[in-house]
A and B are shown apart, each in its own frame.
Chain A
Amino acid sequence: MVEIDRITYGYARTHPIFEDFSWKIQRGERWAILGPSGCGKTTLLYLMAGLRFPTQGEIRIDGQLLERPRPNTGLILQDYGLLPWATVRQNAALGISVRKFYGPDGKHVPANFQPEVNLDYWLQRLDLLSLADHYPGQLSGGQRQRTAIARTLVLRPDLLLMDEPFASLDAPTREDLQNLILTLHSEAQLTLVIVTHAIEEAALLGSKILVLKQPPIRQGLIIDNPEAFQAGFRHSLPYLRLCQDLRRYLEAA
């Protein structure tokens, strides 16, 4: 689904973050990108989101060259990115508002966009219905992130990119949302890419894990983790072993 084909990218021309880097994601896969701070994992996500562009090489999604943010790609950031002056309902509807603003032009908005609103379904699903008239400033971190997730899912994305989405949440909220994402992934045939610096999160969420080291990055280490998200995996021995392995890889980096 996503083909990253020999890209080079860096904020400063002399110090590329990625150099001749390639990577492929198949439809329906669930990837975790793991790496130390500053290794370029967020940059990689922005490249896939069409918010940054490689200086060499290309990124194709469904065979289409990525030239702008793709309407069917959802992006969720650690910072939530909610409008502080809009209520939960207005924030969750922001994507729909943008689509109605442009109309189905095939550029900003999918040409087959139907303005049927299933907003309440997602608000209810994410336990936000009772908070619909609250402003982000009145919400907890977990509620804010759920609002951001609702805003993205209401647009029915087929590719969901997440950048440290649960890093600033407390442990029970984090586990809650992790389980929610896994459920949604299996329900909606989403392709999922989650960037994290937490070994445990990568082991838990990624059925494939891409480990990045310090830049310039030419290649990532790919680890298969087919047992992720089987019942009880969080407490199993293979999980602990995988965490140990990942820690070793990162320390060697």
Chain B
Amino acid sequence: MKRRELFLAVLALTGIWQAASWLINQPILPSPATVLRAFLLEIRQDLPIHLLYSFWRVLASTLLAISLAAPAGVLLGQSRRLNAIFAPVIYLLYPIPKVVFVPVVLLLLGIGDLPKIIIIFLILFFQILVLVRDQAASLRPELILSVRSLGAGRRALFRFVYLPASLPAILTALRQSVGTAVAVLYVAELFATQRGLGYYIYLQGSTLMNYPAMYAGILAMSLLGLGLYFSVDYLERRICAWQTIHERV
């Protein structure tokens, strides 16, 4: 997408927001300018701490999900027997909205960062697992055979074939689920914590009734989601250049 188009879209959305705030004319929907002012004020106070906490939770769960789901996906994609055992389990668990487990995980794991990380991890884990598995299973047997004929054993196959083959699947999975992850992060941060953007937004909106500050939190959370999305997009274009080039030809 071109920068100019993105800029115009931002302009249009801000315009709609401004119009809505004029029409409704209530404190619950302040104008973009008011929110921007609040944001610039809050960013010099507590907001960065909350943003950092939320960011750390998403990052930790992403790394955890990749490091467990990618190898498991490769393994299942490679071995028909293993996949035959696990496929029905994954098939049942995959569509369950993991956010419903928030109370369970909180009760089991208590307060602190771990339950929040685990919940987002659950969402990303299945997404990555399924995509990497299908990618690994779609590698042509001839490709594996010819790389094996070059002397590659299990370790070299992993390093030169399965790992690079699963990278695009990991990035696709992340791109698809980063939005859900941030949404669930919000829900998870409503409970048993005093740090994080979820807590911050809820506190400002429902307890302090400071609506511009609440919107500053929403803005920060949107920026977090956008930032993650753009990073994945960037990595995908860098690492998977061969795919886009392939499409162009």
Residues of A within 8 A of B (CB): 46, 49-51, 69, 71, 73-86, 94-95, 97-99, 101-102, 108-109, 135, 137-138, 148, 151-152, 155
Contact: B240 with A49, CB < 8 Å? no
Contact: B245 with A148, CB < 8 Å? no
CA distance A84 to B159 in the complex (A): 15
CA distance A112 to B152 in the complex (A): 17
**CB proximity of A108 to chain B, nearest CB, Å:** 4
> Which residues of chain A are within 8 angstroms of B246 by Cβ–Cβ distance?
84, 135, 137-138
**CB proximity of B194 to chain A, nearest CB, Å:** 45
Contact: B151 with A99, CB < 8 Å? yes
Chain B binding surface SS class: helix
Among B143, B149, B161, the residue within 8 A (CB) of A51 is B149
CA distance A50 to B153 in the complex (A): 12
Contact: B148 with A51, CB < 8 Å? yes
Contact: A81 with B156, CB < 8 Å? no
> Which residues of chain A are within 8 angstroms of B240 by Cβ–Cβ distance?
85
> Which residues of chain A are within 8 angstroms of B5 by Cβ–Cβ distance?
none
| CB of B190 within 8 Å of the partner chain | no
| CB of B13 within 8 Å of the partner chain | no
Residues of B within 8 A of A (CB): 140, 142-143, 145-153, 155-156, 159-161, 164-165, 167-168, 240, 242-243, 245-246, 249
Among B153, B160, B249, the residue within 8 A (CB) of A94 is B160
- List 4 additional contacts besides A46-B145, A102-B151, A135-B242; criterion CB under 8 Å: A85-B167, A102-B153, A108-B152, A148-B146
- Closest residue of chain A to B152, judged by CB? A98
CA distance A77 to B168 in the complex (A): 26
Count chain A CB atoms within 10 A of each CB in B149, B160, B168, B245 and give the residue with the most.
B149
Count chain B CB atoms within 10 A of each CB in A78, A81, A138 and give the residue with the most.
A81
Among B147, B151, B165, B168, the residue within 8 A (CB) of A71 is B151
Can you list 26 A-B contacts (CB < 8 A)?
A49-B149, A69-B149, A69-B151, A74-B149, A75-B145, A77-B146, A79-B146, A80-B142, A80-B146, A81-B140, A81-B142, A81-B147, A82-B143, A83-B161, A84-B246, A85-B165, A85-B240, A94-B147, A94-B150, A98-B150, A99-B151, A101-B155, A108-B151, A135-B246, A138-B249, A151-B150
Contact: B164 with A85, CB < 8 Å? yes
Contact: B150 with A95, CB < 8 Å? yes
Contact: A51 with B152, CB < 8 Å? no
**CB proximity of A24 to chain B, nearest CB, Å:** 22
Given A98-B160, A101-B156, A135-B242, the answer on whether A79 and B143 have CB atoms closer than 8 Å is: yes
CA distance A114 to B97 in the complex (A): 55
- Closest residue of chain A to B239, judged by CB? A85
**CB proximity of B168 to chain A, nearest CB, Å:** 8
**CB proximity of A247 to chain B, nearest CB, Å:** 29
CA distance A218 to B16 in the complex (A): 80
Count chain A CB atoms within 10 A of each CB in B143, B145, B245 and give the residue with the most.
B145
Given A51-B149, A81-B145, the answer on whether A108 and B156 have CB atoms closer than 8 Å is: yes
CA distance A95 to B140 in the complex (A): 18
CA distance A148 to B171 in the complex (A): 29
Give the 3 A-B residue pairs with the shortest CB-CB distance, closest first. Answer: A81-B146, A137-B246, A75-B149
Among A69, A77, A83, A97, the residue within 8 A (CB) of B142 is A77
**CB proximity of A70 to chain B, nearest CB, Å:** 9
Contact: A137 with B149, CB < 8 Å? no
CA distance A98 to B161 in the complex (A): 11
